[in-house]
Each structure stands twice: as structure tokens, then as C-alpha cells.
Amino acid sequence: MLCLLALAAAFLAWWMSGYLFAYTDDAYVTSDIVSITPEVSGPIEAVHVTDNEWVKRGTLLFTIDPLPFRLAVEQARAEEARTQAQLPVDEAQLQVLRAQKESAEAAAKLAAANLRRDTPLGQSGWISAQALDRTRTAEAQSTAQQHAAEAALQKAHETLDLDKTAVASARAARQLAEWRLSRTKVVASVDGYVTHLAVQAGDMVSPNQAAVAIVDGNAWRVIANYKEYYLRHLRPGGLAWVWLDSHPWHLYRARIQGVAHGISRQRGSEALVPFVSPTVNWIRLQRRIPVRFTLLDSPGDDQLFMGADARVLVIY
């Protein structure tokens, strides 16, 4: 009888504890892994950091051989200079053709006036038919020359516009070449720790593959997988206490940042939502949901380790 009472009391205490606090040892410390991927391809000339080194945002990580990119910049600058040098030539040609067009217009006006004067004279017999024909021919030739001058001037305008477009294209090519040269210096995009550094001088890198990984030093958090039974008591902003296995015998304060509103029920489909295994050593467990905690206290950013185990206690 006493044994049954003890079991009942233990069950009642366990059941009541769910209304007092939520505890889990299925928790871990994590951060963000920032993949540093070069934006240009080439062999690494030098690596400027070491594995596990703390780096600030903007720290030079490694340098890609800049020689081919410098040559590309010089070539692009020369092409831009060549296209720009063509513009004064086009402008001078336009001035010549404008003068020729004005001369042709004046000649056409004179020829038209001569024809208007000679036509009634020819009809009245004051000038010969041959002289009238010469006047008509001169008027037709001057009109044709005027049209030719206008066409040449239009073509010169189009040539100038085309060369201006070539200058803009050459300028863009030069700017792109300079941008590519600047990207031969690969820098850190966040503050954090270089982790698992594997590249070295001579390695070929490309935009298709990350070269360096950095553990973000400003994104530390604790993820705790809580049974569904506790979720109704966990509210964002609630206070929690965290035990870090990497720094035992000390409790650190934390805040509930939020409860995940989706998990994957099939392994391998956790690209966008996490998968929390419902079994341990072939034992089926109650479904658990990730809860994120923000550390208010910590042993220091340099003493936090991504993936380290933790234990979390929330008192309601």
C-alpha cells in the first residue's frame, strides 16, 4: 500500500511539475555559419588568416592572384581611351559636313532661282532651249548634291552616336574590370571565428564554391527541443536559465526569443524547417518543438562553442 501511495505521489509531483517549470536537456548552443565565396575565379596568392582566428568584418582573408585582372583593367582602360579619342574626329567631320550641307543648300537655292528666271525667258524665246536645259540640269545637280550632303551629315550624326555608345560600353567594361580586380581581395563579411580553414596558397577558387566559413560572433543562441506538453507555457520574452556543458556549475540567464511554428516530420526535408528526431535508440519519444533562447549572460563570446550541449530550465 505504501508503495502504491509513493508511486501515486511521484506521478502527481511529475504531473504538477509541468505547471511549475519546463526543463530539457535536449538543447545546444548554435550560431550562424557564414560562407565566404569569392566573386571571381583564380588561384589563391596568399592566405592572411589562420584556423580558429577571430576576425572583424572587413578583415582580409585571402588574396586571389591579381595579375590577370590588372592586365584586364589596363586593356579596358586602353580601349576606353581609344573610343574617346574617336569622338573629336567625329565632331570635326560633323563640322565639315555641316559646312558642305550649307554650301549645297545655297547652291540649290541659286540654281532654283536661275531656273525660275530662265523658264519664262525660254518660253518667250529670249534664250535658247539649250541654255534652258543647262539651267534645269544645274538645278537638278544642285538638288542632288544638297540631298547627298544631308545624307552624309545624317550618317555622321549616327556615327557619332555609335561612337558615344562605344565609349559608354568601354567605360562599363573598364568599371567591370576594376570591380573584378577589387574582388581579388576576399574579406570577412561578419565578425566571428574562422572555422575549419582548408584553403591554402595555390588552391583554385571560384564563385561556384564557398572557400571559407565563419561562425558569426554576434548570432549566438540556444536551441532547446521541448515536448509539446510544455509549449503552452512558453511565451516570447520569458526568462530562462541555461546550463552549458562547456562551462558547468554555472547558470546563465536567457530570454525566450520564440517557438518554432513548423518542423519537418521526414528526415532529409529540413532545408527550410528543422527536423527533430522522434526516436532515440529505437524508443519513440513525444514530439518535440525547437524553442530559441537569446543569452542575456554568457561566459564570453570567445567561450561559446557552436554545437555544445546545454540544458534549459524555464520557471513559469
Instruction: Read off the CATH number of the domain in which 126 is found.
Output: 1.10.287.620
| Position 146 pLDDT exceeds 60 | yes
The structural domain count of the chain equals: 3
Binned at pLDDT 50, 70 and 90, residue 121 comes out as: confident
Q: Looking at the structure, tell me whether residues 148 and 104 fall in a common domain.
A: yes
> Where in the sequence is the domain holding 261, given as residue range(s)?
21-31+218-315
Distance, in Å, from the CA atom of 189 to the CA atom of 34, rounded to the nearest integer, reads: 8
Q: Looking at the structure, tell me whether residues 155 and 112 fall in a common domain.
A: yes
pLDDT averaged over every residue in the chain: 89
| 289 vs 105, more confident | 289
Kindly report the pTM of this predicted structure.
0.79
Q: Looking at the structure, tell me whether residues 97 and 171 fall in a common domain.
A: yes
Mean pLDDT of 265-274: 74
Per the domain annotation, does 231 fall within a domain?
yes
Binned at pLDDT 50, 70 and 90, residue 285 comes out as: low
Binned at pLDDT 50, 70 and 90, residue 280 comes out as: low
Beta strand segments in the chain, E: 21-30, 33-36, 42-47, 54-55, 60-64, 185-187, 192-195, 204-205, 212-216, 221-227, 239-244, 247-259, 279-280, 283-284, 288-295, 309-315
Per the domain annotation, does 13 fall within a domain?
no
Q: Looking at the structure, tell me whether residues 100 and 117 fall in a common domain.
A: yes
Q: Looking at the structure, tell me whether residues 259 and 280 fall in a common domain.
A: yes
Q: Looking at the structure, tell me whether residues 199 and 242 fall in a common domain.
A: no
Mean pLDDT of 3-24: 68
Q: Looking at the structure, tell me whether residues 131 and 206 fall in a common domain.
A: no
How many Cβ atoms sit within 10 Å of the Cβ of residue 152? Answer: 16
Q: Looking at the structure, tell me whether residues 151 and 78 fall in a common domain.
A: yes
Percentage of the chain exceeding pLDDT 70:
91
